[in-house]
Amino acid sequence: MVGTCCSYPAVCSLPMREEQLWDGYPEPTNAAYGVAKRALITMAQAYRKEFGSNIVTAIPANLYGSGDNFDLETSHVIPAMVRKFVEARDAGATSVELWGDGSPTREFLYVTDCARMLIKSPSSTTSRSPSIWEPASCTTSQTSPIRCAR
């Protein structure tokens, strides 16, 4: 079962750590989704304990990749940057205006890399829900030059 980093508390240290999952309520804008995923993790743990079910749960970082949502009103950080860079390139612009001050931190993971990790992840009977991301965050201002360079 795949969880979501939206399950983590709205206020927690960054980079997030697995043991922080239950330390508070998720960000209100993502709460319904985050709490529902927490419920699924709890269900998996209960099924494992009561029936011996081998349900593996994993929580990936913020995913991006092909098939993403590139709508500037509803997309996440990287797809919004990609769209703005492509539109700037196509218009011959020499600069791109990004939202915010560049200080928010995120953990990012390319969707294909996540899929590979999920396929290769070993079966587990532990009650742990491992997180799939690098143990470091980067700011959105650190991310934009990386995306520009590719």
Residue 112: its pLDDT value, please?
92
Q: What is the mean pLDDT of each run of 10 residues along the chain (150 residues)?
A: 89 83 93 95 92 87 91 90 92 87 82 86 56 63 54
Q: Could you list the active site residues?
A: 33
Residue 55: its pLDDT value, please?
84
Residue 103: its pLDDT value, please?
79
Residue 147: its pLDDT value, please?
45
- The amino acid at 145: P
Q: How far apart are CA 42 and CA 150, in angstroms?
A: 40
Question: Model-level pTM greater than 0.85?
Answer: no
List residues bridging with 131 in a β-sheet: 59
For domain 5-149, the CATH class is alpha beta
58 backbone dihedrals φ, ψ, rounded to 5°: -145, 150
Residue 129: its pLDDT value, please?
57
Q: What is the DSSP letter of 2?
A: B
List all residues 6 or more positions away from 75 whose beta carbon is below 8 Å from its beta carbon: 68, 69, 83
